[in-house]
Amino acid sequence: MTYCLGILTYSGLIMAADSRTNAGVDYISTHQKLFDFSEPGDRVILICTSGNLSATQGTLTLLRHDLISKADINLHTLSSMYEVARYIGAKARQIQEQDRPWLEKDGIDFTCSFLLGGQIKGEEPSLFLIYSQGNCIQASRDTPFLQIGETKYGKPILDRILDFDTPLEDAAKCALLSIDSTMKSNISVGPPINLVMYETGTYKIRYELRLKLGAPYLQKIRNMWEVSLKEAFDRMPNIDWEHDMQTLGDPGLVD
């Protein structure tokens, strides 16, 4: 399992991903899940992957092959991010259709999904979630973040903190806290964490980092967040048992 996150704001885009693909008491495997296919000066294209590893790696291989062979249709020739999203979806279907009979025969889950974020000249930055079937949805002002993988543990902080007007630096911190919260609750998500911050209209990646296990900044924000949550919890008012108490009776009876 993995956890990948994309955040769209008025000033740019955040893309983040962990690197864990398998976990157990005696086996942990890591693979990069955030990839940069940008063409500086013309377009920024960032892709996060989740799901069956052979399916996602096969899809990325086809994308790279089209770039190397200068195919008529590739990540650098398509004129819109929506077309790029559909193109990635088509490549994912191609891999799955090729392997589906054999994977189904052995009961192996072959589904996969992708996050696509970036900007092509002539467009505003955009963020897409591409499903295993090849179709996609797009982030918006009302829904400025998208997730794939193990999403539930890192979602509450996003719901409470983020909106389209959140400053880009704050969105980056929120992304790291979202991933850290997920790692705290689920062993199937883990470092290294890759994080990219893209500023609208620059058409190049200026800010990116890779946080390994034990990274000082990651440990610092984890400790500060845990202390802050405990302090906020301690300030919550106690339950007013006398005032709020209601008699527990038959729910089918009406007073």
3-state SS assignment for residue 47 = strand
Confidence of residue 246 (pLDDT cuts 50, 70, 90): low
Please tell me the distance from the alpha carbon of residue 252 to that of residue 255, in angstroms, as a whole number.
Answer: 10
DSSP bridge partners of 29? 22
Q: Which of 25-39, 46-60, 140-154, 196-210 has the lowest mean pLDDT?
A: 25-39
- pLDDT on residue 101: 79
Query: Is 90 exceeded by the pLDDT of residue 97?
Result: no
Which ranges of 26-128 would DSSP assign to H, the alpha helix?
A: 53-68, 81-105
CA distances from 58 to 52, 150, 155 (A): 10, 22, 29
- pLDDT on residue 26: 57
Q: Which of 17-21, 31-35, 178-182, 197-201 has the lowest mean pLDDT?
A: 17-21
CA distances from 113 to 110, 247, 249 (A): 10, 49, 48
CA 114 to chain centre: 8
CA 53 to chain centre: 16
DSSP bridge partners of 57? none
Q: What is the mean pLDDT of the chain?
A: 90
Confidence of residue 20 (pLDDT cuts 50, 70, 90): confident
166 and 9 Cβ atoms separated by less than 8 Å = yes
The domain spans of the chain are 3-234
Please tell me the distance from the alpha carbon of residue 101 to that of residue 90, in angstroms, as a whole number.
Answer: 18
174 and 161 Cβ atoms separated by less than 8 Å = yes
| More reliable by pLDDT, 229 or 213 | 229
Beta strands in the chain (DSSP E): 3-9, 12-17, 20-23, 28-30, 34-36, 43-51, 112-120, 126-130, 136-138, 145-149, 193-199, 207-211
- pLDDT on residue 27: 59
3-state SS assignment for residue 193 = strand
127 and 116 Cβ atoms separated by less than 8 Å = yes
Q: Which of 151-155, 173-177, 246-250 has the lowest mean pLDDT?
A: 246-250
Backbone angles phi, psi at 250, to 5 degrees: -70, 115
Rounded to an integer, the average pLDDT of 135-157 is: 93
Query: Is 70 exceeded by the pLDDT of residue 249?
Result: no
**Hey, what CATH topology would domain 3-234 get?**
Glutamine Phosphoribosylpyrophosphate, subunit 1, domain 1 (3.60.20)
Query: Is 60 exceeded by the pLDDT of residue 182?
Result: yes
Q: What is the pLDDT of residues 40-81, one digit of tens each?
A: 999 999 999 998 888 999 999 999 999 999 999 999 999 999
